[in-house]
Structure 1
Amino acid sequence: MKYLFYALFLSVGFLSLGQETIEKDSITVLQEVIVSDTLTAKNSIGIVPSQIIGAKIFQNHSPVDLVNSINQVSGVYTLSGALNTNRITIRGVGARTPFGTDKLRLYYNNIPVTNGTGFSTIEAFDLENLTSVEIIKGPKATGFGTNLGGAIVLNTKRIRNRSTRLTNNTTIGSYGLFKNSLGFTHSDDTFHLTLQYGHTEIDGYRENNRFERDGLLLNSNFKLSQKSELGLLINHIDYTAQIASSISQSAFDEDPTQAAFTWKSAQGFESNNYTLIGLTHHYTINSWLKNTTSLFYTYLDHYEPRPFNILDEYTNGYGFRTLFSGKRNLAKKELSYTLGGELYKDEYTWETLDNLYEENNGNGSLEGEQISDNKEFRRQFNGFATLTYPFSNAFSAQIGININKTKYDFRDLFNTGTGNKNAERNFDVLLLPSLDLNYRVSSNGNLYANISRGYSNPSLEETLTPDGLINPDIKQETGTNYELGLTLGNTQKKLKFNMAIYRMDIKNLLVAERVGDDQFIGRNVGKTKHQGLDLDLSYSIPPIVKINLTPFISYTFSDHSFVNFVDDDNDFSGNPLTGVPKHRLNSGIQANFGNGFYINTVFQFVDEIPLTDANSLSSDSFSILNTKMGYRTLLFKDLTLGINFGINNIANTRYARSVLINARSFGGREPRYFYPGNDRNYYGGLRLSYPL
């Protein structure tokens, strides 16, 4: 708790969520950027508030640590079991998912990359390729899927000035960390190109924890005419990650570096080969109508030997997204509108095989006989429209509608003839309206309100019965969000204050019940109530002897609970929602000394997390303190040099960075709830940038 008091003292009244880097006279300098809820969100979503994380936020952390950057946003919490095992929750939505991220929609340069059952893999994208991340909390984003958790839009780098530049950034650190990112950028009046290659490898803090990734990004834009622009995006990631898995309380207390016994014996790992190809066309039709249309293809080849079996799967996905937007005068006011839709289809093929690692003389996993062979065709369509009208100089309103249609078509290719389990699930059409109101209370402040409907699709496991059949009774989760918020900021953008209170009622709660080592079934069991407060506050202190100080604080209060949840003979109604900390705090201070030297210190407090629906067990609360310092200067005539050094977990706290809720005990063993966080660790980097 002493760190909590330190952070409160350090940061009461302040919050800064970032800065951006621009090139000026060949020297990298820092400029302030708004990193907060704004009522004019990017990506044509009208007055819906969203949260923007700038590139400098990423640079305040290790380049392999996207999680801490996202966790600096109130209302958003990422649990990270390893670099390849992340679960993003927004306002408690997605906290009950056993593995991975679902119930939100992920976009990469406005191209949907969430798969057909709603799962998103943010670790498929390199942090150093991003210039910003936009987060829309809750189902407010009519044009981005209206998922209950919300939407996250990843944006890649694009330089604005006319230049050609070669950049290399190398980072080394604890646990054998080595990361190198080599980039080439070119920009002129009609053409922009970014080509980035990155390699990352790290042995990891725990046993059986090595991670190695190679990635290539090509992002280009061609200006075809004054009205037309064509963009090509290719993102390829190839990584192999060993899996230490979760461990029990006894193992966590004894030695948090150990892997789960069976995963270590099987030398479990996952290998992923992922490619995204997108073609985007921007066209200005006339003065009051524009269109952006994207065509895309995704491919994922996934191979994962687990102690209980070996999973071999691949997914082919494709689709399009189109958005028309414009403005017209109506009754002497400017009416804004959007109209569009997106179609995502994928073909998911997977098989499982026996894992004979116990018969392989200690050499790890070995393929045995085939256990299953399946294929599923998944299709999801979202149509959307919004109208925004300013009734006065101070008051404006936006109405929106999203139409969702989802279909699963399952094929059992292993059991043929009378044992065939082919099945189809055609979900009902969902109409999801939203209403946003915005009132300017002063020249520097806005009050906003939102009422919106959202949904979440069941995962693949949740749609199947224990016998592998499509469950015809499973329903989509639906919910209604109510939100009231206030944003304040002076014209110099030194002070930023953002506060939101919300309540979201979700019915047809989906519960993934674990019935085996790798077997889950889904059931709709009740209702949940998500309510809480998000608070972000920042202040950039006027320079003192050329020193710029920016203290900050971000606080999340989550009062989430089961309203009606009866599981067999157990009534959990009224219990706090499993997997969500009630209080969370991020705070710290960034100092820029004006001579190229900077230092950033970030403190994080996470409250205890209920681990069972009965609330009979919780994880311990923890506090983490990280710091990073660096220096930038100009060498010779054009060569820019940047060096940095960072320390994570300064106090060497033992903590669980991720948890597995409602863990079951099999074979008389303890249930495995915990993914240990790293101990005190160090990293340092060298960045060189040269104009060509």
Structure 2
Amino acid sequence: MFSAAGMAMIVGALMAPPLRADTPVVLPAVRVNAVRLDVPPFDLPASFSVVTVNAADAGKPGVNLSEALVGVPGVLARDRQNYAQDEQVSIRGFGARATFGVRGVRMFADGIPATMPDGQGQLSHFSLDAAERVEVLRGPFSALYGNSSGGVVQLWSADGSTPAQTRIGLYAGGDNSYRLGASTRGMAGALDYNLALSHYQTDGYRRHSRAQRESGNAKLGFDLGDGRRLSLVLNTLALPGAQDPLGLTRAEYHRDPRQATAVADSFNTRKSVHQTQAGAVYEQSFHATEQLRVMGYYGQRGVQQVLSIPVSAQRNPLSAGGVVDLASDYCGLDARWTHRGEWLGQPLEWVLGGSYDAQNQRRRGFENFIGNTLGVTGRLRRDEDDRVWNLDQYTQLYWHFANQWSLLAGLRHSEVHFSVRDDYVATTNPDDSGRVRYAATTPVLGLQYRPTEQWRIYASLGGGFETPTFNELGYRADGGAGLAFNLRSSRSRNGEFGAKWELGRDWAWDAALFRADTRNELAVASNFGGRSSYRNVGQSRRQGVETSLRGELGDGWRLALGLTHLQASFRSAFRTCVSSGCTVPDTWVHAGARIPGVPSNYGSLRLERGAAMGWRYGAEINGVSAVSVDDINSSRAAGYALLGLDAGYGMSLSTTTRLHLSARIDNLFDHRYIGSVIVNESNRRYYEPGPGRRLMLGAQLDF
């Protein structure tokens, strides 16, 4: 269990040699974009983490975002070993119930939204080859990003630099996995550039989990003079035919954690994704006090997925079949004006802006059989045009109104519009067209006190809201035709009290107590025949404490530690379906039941020593306590603590060329564990096993 073994290992690690005064080390300074204001992270009345990305230093292949989040509290990124479904990302319990992709948490890449207007997002196109840092914002101020903002994760690519730098890396490891990545950064006159390409493929830890992924990312910056700058961001993603092994029952997991569910083979469950996206950011400064920023983007995304829905279930005339075909185009615009000045003789900065985002999606469904042949595209069963768009206005203000006091406030008004035009209408399948609108105004207020130059104490309060996604609107809970336009948006009241401490730039510590009370929480009403329906179930609460510590231990040792204790529970009793085939909720979920997929304790630690040249080595611990698998808390996936070790050696091949060799072992003790759970899976196939001991070798050439 994490609460015993994992904590013991972390405490033991903290007993390393203390900081030596004769070894001064400066932590890197970065420009951040947490709340769209030019405020240092230390002076924000909010929980905010910045992580510099250089995964190669730890011998990591740069495949999953979770590799970069070691030591960040509050956020939990779980590699599902299933590239057909993407990583699970949750922040303080928000987003934990997502069965695929990311929802409940806003995702951005270089300022371009990776979350659609309905709150459903993905991060498979995030490029760690191009990345400079990851920013994670938690707590009330996340609401300033609009719908479905239980937290915010932003990945930022590095700007081009001089002299130019090119990097080629090759990583290979267990399960026939390998990754080849190449990137180049530089400047040419007024142009700076950062280009990255990568190829990854694996046979997968489990059977029927083979995947291949190609991605490209380009960031181009143009200095137009007179305080003007234009940045272009282009990226592509190809994920052809990623196999989906599905979850396992508890008995299947104990018998063989590497197996795939039988129906995964029968229907050859798989998913293909192709995405291209382009964005532009124009910034112009007017003197030293005014700035205009305009961002626009456009993208196309195609998804084809073969599901394991039984043939018998598709006899229902309202069935959408077992093959999903989505063709989406999406776009958006964000414009804001920033003013910096004084009010009553004290520094003041404010932002006024608005944003528009839209997604148009052609959704078709087909039977996943032809005659007795399974796993193929059969007859058309669904054909509709889905559209969702939002129009938001926001304002933020930061005022350092006294020597030791500052105020951060914000207000956002959001409107989210859903509409459906049904083009598949038959005698037994009536017209499902319709529309619904959600709106909310979310205020946020934070106050910070500075008792000394090294200490900050703050408190913040705010509201938040979360609409259903198109996937949750897809089916009515009563089993009838049409979409579930009766679902209401969830509304939250969020608060936190925190403290931050910095000793020079060698050490940084922060801690926060937090609580989020939600009404109209969304939960599963029933799963029947491949149709998952949802309902509003009353109130819930997510509360806890988190802390992080980063710094230099002396003699070249560095530490990054993040711990979170979280209590997430339903505050209202409600009924749900448990048995397969249930259409009318008949089982009580009692008030006080834990929200599934949310651990009570989780954390990560990294200890490392060394520099870019010569020897470098480190150790990582990742721990998660047990999680419930469904709303009635009928079973739990056991907690775990995993240890990984890595070593590397950097050498100069010439004055401009360096070679870095690395070796990494994850899950050193070959512990059997559940890496993630599929919440409320109707066939009780909740469990997605994590891999055993795994070796990864790497070589990276910089020139």
Q: Secondary structure at the match of 1:391?
A: strand
For the Cα contact (< 8 Å) 1:584–1:607, is it kept in 2? yes
Alignment CA distance shift 1:403-1:356 (3 Å): same
CA distance in 2, matches of 1:595, 1:58: 13
From 2, 8, 11, the counterpart of 2:11: 8
Alignment of 1:250-399 (within 5 A): 250-308=251-309, 309-356=322-369, 359-360=372-373, 365-399=375-409
CA shift, 1:95, in A, is 1.8
For the Cα contact (< 8 Å) 1:425–1:470, is it kept in 2? no
Partner of 1:164: 164
CA distance in 2, matches of 1:503, 1:259: 39
Q: Secondary structure at the match of 1:458?
A: coil
Partner of 2:183: 183
Q: Secondary structure at the match of 1:127?
A: coil
CA distance in 2, matches of 1:296, 1:65: 24
CA distance in 1, matches of 2:273, 2:536: 32
CA shift, 1:442, in A, is 1.1
Alignment of 1:48-63 (within 5 A): 48-49=45-46, 50-56=48-54, 59-60=57-58, 61-63=60-62
Partner of 1:199: 199
For the Cα contact (< 8 Å) 2:278–2:299, is it kept in 1? yes
Q: Secondary structure at the match of 1:258?
A: coil
CA distance in 2, matches of 1:642, 1:683: 14
Alignment of 1:648-667 (within 5 A): 648-665=666-683
Q: Secondary structure at the match of 1:377?
A: strand
**1:342-367 Cα shifts (integer Å, max 9, x gaps):** 1101101111111127833xxx6221
Alignment CA distance shift 1:358-1:136 (3 Å): farther
Partner of 1:501: 513
Alignment CA distance shift 1:261-1:637 (3 Å): same
CA distance in 2, matches of 1:343, 1:565: 37
Partner of 1:32: 27
Give yes or no for the alignment of 1:541 onto 2:553.
yes
For the Cα contact (< 8 Å) 1:45–1:142, is it kept in 2? no
CA shift, 1:107, in A, is 1.2
- The worse-fitting range, judged by mean Cα deviation, of 649-658 and 176-185 is 176-185
For the Cα contact (< 8 Å) 1:11–1:553, is it kept in 2? no
From 562, 578, 585, the counterpart of 1:554: 562
Give yes or no for the alignment of 1:445 onto 2:442.
no
Alignment of 1:121-132 (within 5 A): 121-132=122-133
From 433, 439, 453, the counterpart of 1:422: 433
Q: Secondary structure at the match of 1:688?
A: strand
CA shift, 1:58, in A, is 6.9
CA distance in 1, matches of 2:295, 2:149: 24
Partner of 1:412: 422
Q: Secondary structure at the match of 1:257?
A: coil
**1:16-73 Cα shifts (integer Å, max 9, x gaps):** 9xxxxxxxxxxxxx973379xx999474275353211211367433322422433531
- The amino acid that maps onto 2:344 is A
CA distance in 2, matches of 1:490, 1:222: 37
**1:112-161 Cα shifts (integer Å, max 9, x gaps):** 221132111112223222211111113413542264412111111223x4
Partner of 1:22: none
For the Cα contact (< 8 Å) 1:142–1:385, is it kept in 2? no
Q: Secondary structure at the match of 1:367?
A: coil
- The amino acid that maps onto 2:389 is R
CA distance in 1, matches of 2:529, 2:557: 51
Give yes or no for the alignment of 1:66 onto 2:77.
no
Partner of 1:532: 544
Partner of 1:44: 37
- The amino acid that maps onto 2:506 is K
CA distance in 1, matches of 2:353, 2:18: 36
Alignment CA distance shift 1:654-1:389 (3 Å): same
Partner of 1:229: 229
CA shift, 1:93, in A, is 1.0
For the Cα contact (< 8 Å) 1:76–1:89, is it kept in 2? yes
For the Cα contact (< 8 Å) 2:139–2:495, is it kept in 1? no
Give yes or no for the alignment of 1:615 onto 2:636.
no
- The amino acid that maps onto 1:102 is R
Partner of 2:689: 676
**1:519-550 Cα shifts (integer Å, max 9, x gaps):** 1112111110111001112331233xxxx012
For the Cα contact (< 8 Å) 1:83–1:123, is it kept in 2? no
Say what the alpha-carbon RMSD is for the aligned residues: 2.3
- The amino acid that maps onto 2:253 is F
Q: Secondary structure at the match of 1:252?
A: helix
Q: Secondary structure at the match of 2:670?
A: coil
- The amino acid that maps onto 2:52 is G
Alignment CA distance shift 1:612-1:229 (3 Å): same
Partner of 1:564: 572
For the Cα contact (< 8 Å) 2:386–2:418, is it kept in 1? yes
Alignment CA distance shift 1:656-1:517 (3 Å): farther
CA shift, 1:416, in A, is 5.8
- The amino acid that maps onto 1:528 is S
For the Cα contact (< 8 Å) 1:557–1:582, is it kept in 2? yes
CA shift, 1:419, in A, is 2.3
Alignment CA distance shift 1:636-1:517 (3 Å): farther
Alignment CA distance shift 1:15-1:33 (3 Å): farther
For the Cα contact (< 8 Å) 1:652–1:679, is it kept in 2? yes
Q: Secondary structure at the match of 2:207?
A: coil
Partner of 1:27: none
- The worse-fitting range, judged by mean Cα deviation, of 272-281 and 592-601 is 592-601
For the Cα contact (< 8 Å) 1:10–1:551, is it kept in 2? no
Show structure 1 runs of 5+ residues with no match. Answer: 17-29, 666-670
CA shift, 1:5, in A, is 2.0
For the Cα contact (< 8 Å) 2:619–2:645, is it kept in 1? yes
From 584, 587, 590, the counterpart of 2:602: 584
CA distance in 1, matches of 2:292, 2:326: 36
Partner of 2:219: 219
- The amino acid that maps onto 1:113 is A
Partner of 2:313: none
For the Cα contact (< 8 Å) 2:57–2:648, is it kept in 1? no
TM-score using structure 1 length: 0.91
Show structure 2 runs of 5+ residues with no match. Answer: 20-24, 310-321, 576-584
Q: Secondary structure at the match of 1:368?
A: coil
- The amino acid that maps onto 2:76 is Y
CA distance in 1, matches of 2:194, 2:149: 34
CA shift, 1:184, in A, is 2.3
For the Cα contact (< 8 Å) 2:454–2:503, is it kept in 1? yes
Alignment CA distance shift 1:116-1:352 (3 Å): same
CA shift, 1:680, in A, is 0.6
Give yes or no for the alignment of 1:476 onto 2:471.
no
- The worse-fitting range, judged by mean Cα deviation, of 323-332 and 400-409 is 323-332
CA distance in 2, matches of 1:472, 1:15: 59
CA distance in 1, matches of 2:612, 2:126: 33
CA shift, 1:328, in A, is 1.2
Give yes or no for the alignment of 1:433 onto 2:426.
no
CA distance in 1, matches of 2:186, 2:621: 38
Partner of 1:635: 653
CA distance in 2, matches of 1:357, 1:620: 41
Q: Secondary structure at the match of 2:103?
A: coil
CA shift, 1:593, in A, is 6.2
CA distance in 2, matches of 1:192, 1:302: 33
CA shift, 1:12, in A, is 5.7
CA shift, 1:315, in A, is 0.8
Q: Secondary structure at the match of 1:141?
A: helix
CA distance in 1, matches of 2:194, 2:270: 32
**1:370-397 Cα shifts (integer Å, max 9, x gaps):** 1111111110122110111112121000
**1:173-203 Cα shifts (integer Å, max 9, x gaps):** 1111111111222214521012211111111
